[in-house]
Amino acid sequence: MKTKRKIEIAVISDVHLGTYGCHAKQLLTYLNSIKPKRLILNGDIIDIWQFSKRYFPKSHLKVIKKIMDMSADGVKITYITGNHDEMLRKFSDMTIGNISIVDKLVLELNGKKAWFFHGDVFDISIQNAKWLAKLGGYGYDLLILINQLTNRILKKLGKEKFSLSKKVKNSVKGAIKFVNDYETVISDLAIENGYDYVICGHIHQPKMEYRENKYGKTLYLNSGDWIENFTALEYQF
């Protein structure tokens, strides 16, 4: 049996269980490799927007079972609600055993303040046109499916894989501006409120970067996703 890495906190977001783009097997491998004291699920873990009885494979169920097993083993699980699982917001501030559901979380880490939230509250497209955001979610899932098929063909031809959705996002000026604005707004608000760390998800763009303005600085952290990047954040002693 392999030794698990002991860490204080692990943060994952944007898993989107119940969609074709979700890489549940890779996430399960990661969760089996760590032994955290606390696991923070920072939104969009289950994709309730696109949930379908027709598609919820065993690997997706195994991720849920693994999280429940971790909870039973004493790991403190904090589920921060996102936009794709916003239905859970009606259960905010509810705690059952080691599992709690919240909309945001503030922790003190070694004398410094850390602010955790999913990040969709700063997305104007979701706040003002939810139907458009949902349509975009379906489009993204379709793009991932096409990408998977393309990469299978490229693999057979002995060529390198590539990310179609990243190429689309990186070539659209509006998308690049949105990401920059999103990171700036969140960082500025964190500085204004005296948070040393601000931890979010939502945009599927993993990043760790100090952001500064004339009032101070903060460390902006984004946990990425389990559709394309397979990323997590860890805080270790």
- Residue-wise pLDDT for 220-235, tens only, equals 999 999 998 999 999 9
- Per-residue pLDDT, averaged over 44-67, amounts to 89
- Fold of the domain spanning 5-125+171-235: Purple Acid Phosphatase; chain A, domain 2 (3.60.21)
Inter-residue contact 169 to 119 (CB < 8 Å): no
Question: How far is the C-alpha of 38 from the C-alpha of 31, rounded, in Å?
Answer: 12
* Cβ neighbour number for residue 82 with a 10 Å cutoff: 31
State residue 61's pLDDT score.
96
pTM for this predicted structure: 0.81
Question: Could you state, in order of their start, the residue ranges of all structural domains in the chain?
Answer: 5-125+171-235
State residue 215's pLDDT score.
95
Mean pLDDT across the chain: 85
- Closest by CA position to 226, among listed 18, 60, 9, 23: 23
Q: What is the pLDDT of residues 81-119, one digit of tens each?
A: 998 888 999 999 999 999 999 999 999 999 999 999 999
Q: Which residue has the tokens 């990469």?
A: 151
Question: How far is the C-alpha of 234 from the C-alpha of 211, rounded, in Å?
Answer: 19
Instruction: Give one DSSP letter per residue of 38-70, joined into a string.
Output: EEEEES-SB-STT-BTTB--HHHHHHHHHHHHH
Structure tokens at 20: 């074709």
Structure tokens at 156: 């057979």
Q: Is the pLDDT of residue 136 over 70?
A: no
State residue 159's pLDDT score.
76
* Percent of the chain topping pLDDT 70: 79
Question: How far is the C-alpha of 115 from the C-alpha of 80, rounded, in Å?
Answer: 12
